[in-house]
Structures are given as C-alpha cells and as structure tokens.
Amino acid sequence: MSEHAHEHEQDEDAEQAEGPSDEERRAWRLAALRLVRQYPDPVLKNPAVPVGESDDELRALTARMTDIMRASHGVGLAAPQIGVSRRVLVYGMRDDDEVHVLVNPELVERSEETEVENEGCLSLLGGELSIPVERHVRVRVSATDAAGEPVDYEAEGLEARVIQHEIDHLDGVLIVDRAENDERKGALRELRLRSV
C-alpha cells in the first residue's frame, strides 16, 4: 500500500539536516519501485501459496520486502508485489515504526462497521493512482512472524485498512477489484493509458 493515499506529518527540516537529501530519497524510491511488480503483471492476480516452516530464506525475503517498502515510501508490501507467490506481508505505518511481518495471515474477525477511504498501491502506477475502497474499521488477524512464532491481535483504522489491503494482494485482489463500477472503469482506463 502506498503512503500517498493518506497524510503523515513530518518535520522536513529535521529530516533534511539529519538524513539523506530529498534528491537521494527520490532516487532510492525510483530504484525500489523498479523492484515492485506493476499492473497488469499476472503474479498480482493469482492467489499466493501458503508458507511452510520459517527458515533463513523466509527471513531474507521479509528483510528484502521491508527494505523495498521503506525505500519506495510504502506502508505495506505483499510478497507477490515483488514476484514471490508466497503468503507473506510486511507493513509499518511510519518510517520510525516497527515493521510487522505476517506469514500466512488470516482475518479471524471483522467489524460490522465499514468505511470508505482512498487507497493507493505501489503496484498501480507506483502509488500515484488513488481509489475509494470500503474496508472493515476493525479486524483481528492471526498469523506467524518471520521466526515462526504465533501472532494474534486486533487492529483498527489505518492499520486495519493496510492489513486488509495486503491480504487482498495475497488473494490476487487489487483495489481496482474492490472499487465501485464508475471508479473501476476510470482507474482501469488510466492504468491502460499509463502502463503502455
């Protein structure tokens, strides 16, 4: 999921004084986005395969996914988005937040309450396309982490939205698939025009 779909407050002056320049960050983002599969890549439409046991390969995959997500300014990334058809996702709401790793995640509870908000996706024009999507306000997710330890917790608001977005990727579902007819037609038209 792209962070362009929602606002984050950051102290630009402090960031520039302590970290890389805006130009360096843009270059890193473009390099990272080259590693993210873009619509209409078929891997984005196919359900991912469950992961067996946790191993060094899985830990390397989640570390790579985290690096790509951070460098591309995303808040979430699913393995199929980098061409790996495995049920693994990572997410972190802000640059300084802990990155959560969910392996074989399942939504075991969903609130009845839903809300519609704009979402972007790193696999749809690098996050530049924004589409209104209805999501459950609260969810409970059950999974394992990269070390194979069980994970079970509730999330709400933006965190719940990001988890649902990334699990959709594991099921071969994109935000255009969840959009209302008019929104879907407009988004698909823009994708066709700009993906050539």
The answer to whether residue 166 is catalytic is: yes
| Cα-only R_g, the chain | 16
Partnered with residue 156 across adjacent β-strands are 138
CA distance 73 to 95: 8
Q: Please give the Cα distance from 135 to 161 (Å, whole number).
A: 6
**Catalytic residue selected from 9, 106, 166, 183:** 166
Reduced to 3 states (helix: H, G, I; strand: E, B; else coil), residue 93 is coil
The token duo for 75 is 């808040």
φ/ψ of residue 172, rounded to 5: 75, 25
User: Which residues lie below 8 Å from residue 46, measured CB to CB, with a gap of 6+?
Assistant: 80, 85, 172
Q: What is the DSSP letter of 141?
A: E
Across the chain, where does the E strand assignment appear?
76-78, 88-91, 100-110, 114-119, 131-136, 138-144, 150-156
Which of 166, 175, 164, 150 has the alpha carbon at shortest distance from 66?
166
> Which residues are identified as catalytic?
166
